[in-house]
Chain A
Amino acid sequence: MNIHSLSVKELNNKLNKKEISCKEIVESFLSRIEKVEPKVKAFLYTNGDRARKKAEEVDKKISSGAKLKPLEGIPIAIKDNMCTEGMPTTCASKILSDFKPPYSADVINRIEATGMIIIGKTNMDEFAMGSSTENSAYGATRNPWDPERAPGGSSGGSAAAVAADEAPLALGSDTGGSIRQPASFCGVVGLKPTYGRVSRYGLIAFASSLDQIGPITREVYDSALLFQAIAGHDPKDSTSAGLSVPEITDFLKKDIKGLRLGIPREYFNPEMDSEVKNKISEAIKKLTDLGAVVKEISLPHTEYAVSVYYIIATAEASANLARYDGVRYGSRANKAENLFQMYSLTRGEGFGTEVKRRIMLGTYALSAGYYDAYYLKAQKVRTLIKNDFDEAFKACDAIITPTAPTPAFKLGEKSTNPLEMYLSDIFTISVNLAGIPGISIPCGFSKGNLPIGLQILGRPFDEGTILQIAYNFEQATGYHLRKTNI
C-alpha cells in the first residue's frame, strides 16, 4: 500500500482507526517528493522538519483518544506567493529570493487552525504572471503526465505536486485562470472561488481586483473540504465578503436532476482542438444523462476578455509591484550611485522578462494621455462582460465550457510569443473579470494520454452548486482515478 496514493478520506479513516500514524503519512509524502522531484520540480522549498514535528503532535492527539476532523494531519502544499511566517516566500522571483515574511496569510492561519500540515512551497510563474510555470526564476516545473510538457500556470507547481501524489492537497491562486488551467493540464481539480470569498491578506498581490486563492486537489470532495476551511470573512482584507459560508458537503449529497446548464456558443468554434471539443461534448452528454437540462446561451463579449484582462491586470500589477524598491525587503542592486539608479537597477535585475513586460504595459495603459483609451475603456468593457454573466444566470444555474483550448502544450512551445501564451487563458479570464466562481475537473484524456479539463462556472457565492455538479460528474465517470506514470 502506497500511503501517498490514498485519498484524503481514506487517510482520515486510517488515522482515526489507528491503522497508520500521521508520522507515516508525512514520511510517505516526503519520500515521494524526494523520489519524483528530480523529474517534476514542483517545489521551491520543502518543510520536512516542521512537518514531522506537527505530525508528532497529531499522533499524540490520536493516542489520547481524540477523533480527528477530516483534514486534520493531512499534508498540504502552498503556492509560493502566500506568506508563511518564518518560511521562505519567493513568488518564484529573484527579487524575493531571501524573503521570510514576518506574518502569515489569513489562509495559512486557517490551514494551521484546521490542523493541516504544510509540506512545502510550490513553484509558479514569477509573481503569478504566466500560463506555463516557465516564468519561474528557479526553473520550469514539468507536467507529471509528460515531463516534456508544461504543467500550466501560474499555479503549475501546486497542480503538478497534486497530480504526482507529492501532496494530497494544495493551494493555488487564480488571477486569470492560474488555478483552473494548470488543474486542466495536470488532470486535477482546481477551484477558483468567488472574488471576496477567501481572504487575500498575505497573498502577494498581482492584480488586486482579480486575485483569488483556491484549492487544488485530486478529488471534488477534497476541494469542498479545503474550500470550507479557507473561506470566510476576514477583517484584514477590505474586499472580503461578509457573507457566511454554507455547509458545502451538503451540496455533494444532492443529484443534479433539473439543474439548468448553459453552454455558451462563443466558447465553441470550428477551429477548436477536436479532442477537447469531443471530450467536452461527451461531458455535456453525461451531465444530461445525470438529469441536468442543457441549453445554449450567449456571452457576446467573450472575444474582448483577453484584451480587457491584459490591460486591467497589468495596470494593477504595475501599481502593486511598485513596492519592490530594494528598501524594506527583497534584494537590492549594489552598484547604484544614487536613489533613482538603486530603484531602477534593483527592479531591472530583480524582475524577470515577463514581469517587466507587464509592468511596462500596465504603466503605459495608466500613463497620461492613454488612461481613457486603455484603462478606462477596459473597465467599461469589463462591465459588459459582467453583464453577460448576470444575464446568462437568469436562465441557467451554471455554465459549462472547456477550461483550456488545448491539452498541455510543450515546454518552450509558447514562451517566445507572449501574445500566444496569453491566448491560452481565453476560456478562464472572463470569470475573474466578472468575479464569479469556477472549477476545472478532469473530463477525459487525449490520444496522447494528456488530461482534458471541464470548466463549470457558477453565480457569485454559489460555489456549492458548481461543486455539486462537479461531484456528480466525477462520481459517474471516475477520470480522477487515473494516475500518472511519473
Chain B
Amino acid sequence: MSVDKEVIKKIARLANLYYKEDELDTSARELNQILTYVEKLSKLDTGGINPTFQVSPIENIYRDDIVGKSLDLEHVMSNAPEKEGKFFTVPKIID
C-alpha cells in the first residue's frame, strides 16, 4: 500500500480537485504518512462485528406529506455565482 503521484491524480479527478503538478508529491507523501498510521486497524480481528454507520437507534423517519414554507427564491438566487433570471448558468455541457 503506497500512494504515488498517479494514484493522487486519479483520486483528485474523482474528487474534482485541481492540484498543481508540483503539489502532487507532497500530497502523496502526506497521504502515505496517514495511511501508514491507520494501517494498525488491519491487525484487529473484526470477524462477526457489524459496522456502526451511525449511533442513533433511529431507523426511517416519515413525515406527513404537507406543503411547508419554501425558501425565498430571490434570496436563494442571490448567492449564485452566475445566473440568468431564476436559472443558474454553467459552462456549456454538450458540444
Contacts and interface: CB of A to CB of B under 8 A. Distances in A.
Contacts of A344: 12-13, 16-18
Interface string A157-200: 00000000000000000000000000000000000000110000
A27 to B, nearest CB: 31
B40 A304 contact: yes
Nearest to A376: B51
A301 B27 CA distance: 29
Contacts of B88: 327-328
Interface stretch (A274-282, A345-353, A467-475): A345-353
A382 B34 contact: no
Nearest to B18: A348
B71 interface: yes
Nearest to B8: A360
Contact of B11 (A100, A348, A367, A378): A367
Given A308-B41, A360-B15, A377-B46, A434 B55 contact: yes
A329 B56 contact: no
Interface string B41-61: 110101001111111101001
Contact of A99 (B17, B50, B79): B79
B15 to A, nearest CB: 4
B11 A363 contact: yes
A79 to B, nearest CB: 20
Contacts of B53: 209, 379
A456 B58 CA distance: 26
B17 A359 contact: yes
A308 B15 CA distance: 21
B11 A364 contact: yes
Interface in A90-132: 98-100, 102-103
A128 B34 CA distance: 19
Contact of B37 (A103, A307, A379): A307
Nearest to B27: A360
A347 B17 contact: yes
Contact of A238 (B58, B79, B80): B58
B19 to A, nearest CB: 7
Contact of B76 (A102, A339, A383): A102
Most buried by A among B34, B53, B54, B80: B34
B17 A419 contact: no
Given A329-B80, A364-B11, A381 B31 contact: no
Contacts, number: 163
A343 B16 contact: yes
Nearest to B39: A307
A311 interface: yes
A420 to B, nearest CB: 10
A241 B11 contact: no
Contacts of B76: 102, 328
Interface in A283-329: 301, 303-304, 306-308, 310-311, 318, 322, 325-329
A332 B81 contact: yes
Contacts of A377: 41-42, 46
Interface in A60-108: 98-100, 102-103
Contact of A379 (B7, B16, B51, B92): B51
Interface string B8-33: 10011111111100000001001101
A196 B78 CA distance: 32
B63 to A, nearest CB: 6
B86 interface: no
Contacts of A238: 58, 61
A337 B95 CA distance: 12
Most buried by A among B37, B40, B41, B52: B52
B67 interface: no
A379 B40 contact: no
Given A325-B16, A345-B18, A360-B27, A380 B55 contact: no
B51 A382 contact: yes
11 contacts: A100-B78, A238-B61, A301-B44, A307-B38, A311-B41, A344-B13, A356-B17, A357-B27, A380-B51, A418-B33, A435-B55
6 closest Cβ pairs, A-B complex: A348-B18, A435-B55, A379-B51, A332-B81, A329-B79, A307-B38
Given A195-B56, A384-B49, 13 more contacts: A102-B72, A209-B55, A239-B56, A327-B90, A338-B92, A348-B17, A349-B18, A359-B17, A360-B31, A367-B11, A378-B38, A383-B50, A386-B55
